[in-house]
Amino acid sequence: MNFSFKSSGWKTFLFLILAALSHDGFSYIHNFETTRLKSTGGAGAASMLVEEATLLNPASIAFFEITSIYFQKANVQTTKNDRDTTDNDQIGFVVSDSNPSISGSLSYLNHSEGDGKRKRFSISAATSLGKSSAMGIAYRITKDKYFDHGLETSKDDFNQVVLGVTHAINESLSFGVVVNDPQKKRKEDSTYILGMQYVYAGFLSLMADAGAPLSKTGTTQLFYKMALQFKILDDFYFRVGTFNDKFLGEKGNGIGLGWVQPKLGIELAAKNTTNFARPELSRQKSSIKDASLSLSFRF
């Protein structure tokens, strides 16, 4: 009996095996952030936000009585080991509706980072707890795929829950608590966040978030995010933020400008992230440059 292989077919088969064995892509994709959150370095767990209800703190939307349609497009440039650079596009759609009884939000996110691609559908609901407090819950359905030299090497489908509470002491001071993935579906996503926002004289806002993984304790696992927002004239907001996450092994900064009208909002932001090698999370050393533009319509 004679066996024969076509040269091209054998080479393709061998390449698939080598790609699977030598895959050095990311096994972690950063959670999607709105343009505003990019400008603050991700800080805002205690801020009163609408579009971010399914992305950060689901309770914050309960303080509004508006409907919002939000669209965002971003370009993400990822450089691995100071040599391999990948350009990816990200898009996001968010539809939010808030009323005095129950508020809710839907979002669809399609974004890529390095060798990973993610599609995520999220839904959130929030309700008021008196005049100054609110609680909310979000549910996320995520589908991740990872590639090496254009070939799919693995995929990961998972669902997560996010819990949030916001309490406003007064018009100037508010606090927020967020618990991400309390079921611990993914160790890199399972965290808690404590947030604070202070507004001085109506034009200067200070935001500070701190947290840690749910499964570990100690100062070596903490992360923090801090940001300042300046109101310029009546319609423009300038924001700058910084963050340091010892658990994920990354740090960086963000900057942005927003033009906000009662019915229309335009946001621009840039964010830089430095990722350090974390073998336990299958992460390589990398840097990420993020540029983002968003439009929101409120009525």
pLDDT in tens, 30-54: 899 999 999 999 999 999 999 999 9
| 252 within domain boundaries | yes
At residue 158, the pLDDT reads: 94
Three-state secondary-structure class, residue 37: helix
**Any domain includes 251:** yes
Confidence check: pLDDT of 2 > 60: no
Q: Is 258 exposed, middle or buried (0-12, 13-18, 19+ CB in 10 A)?
A: buried
Determine the average pLDDT of the residues in 2-16.
46
Residue 77 has pLDDT above 70, yes or no: yes
Q: Residue 212: inside a domain, yes or no?
A: yes
What DSSP element (H or E) covers 13?
helix 7-22
Q: Tell me whether residue 6 is in a domain.
A: no
pLDDT at residue 19 is higher than 50 = no
Residue at 23 is within a domain: no
Q: Measured between alpha carbons, how far is 3 from 21 in angstroms, rounded to an integer?
A: 26
User: Which structure tokens are listed for 256?
Assistant: 């942005």
In this predicted structure, the answer to whether residue 101 has a pLDDT above a threshold of 80 is no
Rounded CA-CA distance 196/171 in Å is 13
Question: Is the pLDDT assigned to residue 286 strictly greater than 90?
Answer: no
In this structure, of 11-15, 36-40, 157-161, 210-214, the range with the lowest mean pLDDT score is 11-15
Average pLDDT for 151-155: 85
Q: What is the pLDDT of residues 225-236, one digit of tens each?
A: 999 999 998 899
pLDDT at position 280 over 80:
no
For the segment 228-278, what is each residue's pLDDT rounded down to a tens digit? 999 998 899 999 999 999 888 899 999 999 999 989 999 999 999 998 877
Does residue 17 belong to any structural domain of this protein? no
CATH code at 236? 2.40.160.60
289 and 113 Cβ atoms separated by less than 8 Å: no
pTM (predicted TM-score)? 0.86
- Average pLDDT over all residues of the chain: 87
Q: Is 21 helix (H, G, I), strand (E, B) or coil?
A: helix
Q: Give per-residue pLDDT as tens, 170-215.
A: 989 999 999 999 999 888 899 999 999 999 998 999 999 999 998 7
**Percent of the chain scored above 70 by pLDDT?**
88
pLDDT for position 216: 65
Residue 173 CB neighbours (<10 A): 13
Tell me, yes or no, whether 24 lies in a domain.
Answer: no
Give the chain's domain count. Answer: 1
Structural domain range at position 151: 29-298
> Is residue 82 one of the residues assigned to a domain?
yes
